[in-house]
Amino acid sequence: MNVLDLKEGNVFEYEGKLYIVKNTTHVVQQQRRGIVKIKAVEIDTGKGIEFSLRSDVEVNIVILEEVPLTYLYSDETTFYFMDNSTYEQFNLPNETIGEKKYYLKENLEVIGLFYQGKIIDIQLPFTVELKVIEAEPGFKGDTVQGGRKKVKVETGLIVQTPLFIEVGDIIKIDTRTGEYITRV
């Protein structure tokens, strides 16, 4: 597969190592071949790495096995999950989870991505419901900011919401964009 076809979340093999794509940018240079800048995480070490590859470079896409998991808990360095059918437990380091930690709460159903029997990443559901623990006061008629305010949810995520959202409300958030959807 050509590097131009890589998308966020793809797993590819390059020079004998496996990487998960976090971000790609295609840069076109005047009178030259394009370059694809890839931000990825090496699966074995969990370290972030950046590539600048010519747009005609080929990489091997890796097909992953998807297994339903339940998020259990985390400590300072690791997140723990359980297979829903076998009750086997798996863990992933903080570096692999990254920003997904802001959407994880106990007993959340996620999809575990496995390669050769080893968990390498998770996929979040498209939406999660989280409780508001801090909210700025919303004043009627305060539309300078478009009638929005910042709130903090139970996982530490800061979200822009309408003025009527209060502490204790449960809100639905899109995990792909981090945006408020509705109050539950």
Rounded CA gap, 60 and 3, in Å?
9
The helix (run of H) or strand (run of E) holding residue 95 is: helix 94-97
Read off the tokens for 16. 């004998």
Q: Measure the CA–CA gap between 128 and 56, rounded to whole angstroms.
A: 39
pLDDT at 141: 59
Length reported for the chain: 184
- For the chain, domains (ranges, CATH) are 3-61 (2.30.30.30), 66-123 (2.40.50.140), 127-183 (2.40.50.140)
Identify the helix (H) or strand (E) that includes residue 96. Answer: helix 94-97
What integer pLDDT is reported at residue 139 of this predicted model? 66
Q: Are 5 and 15 in contact (CB under 8 A)?
A: no
What are the structure tokens assigned to 165, written together? 């959202």
**Mean pLDDT (whole number) for 40-65:** 84
Specify the range with the lowest mean pLDDT, choosing from 71-80, 81-90, 107-116, 136-145: 136-145
Indicate the pLDDT class of residue 48, thresholds 50, 70 and 90: confident
Angle at 155 between CA 97 and CA 102, to 5 degrees: 30
Over the stretch 91-108, which tens digit does the pLDDT of each residue have? 998 888 888 999 999 999
End-to-end CA distance of the chain: 43
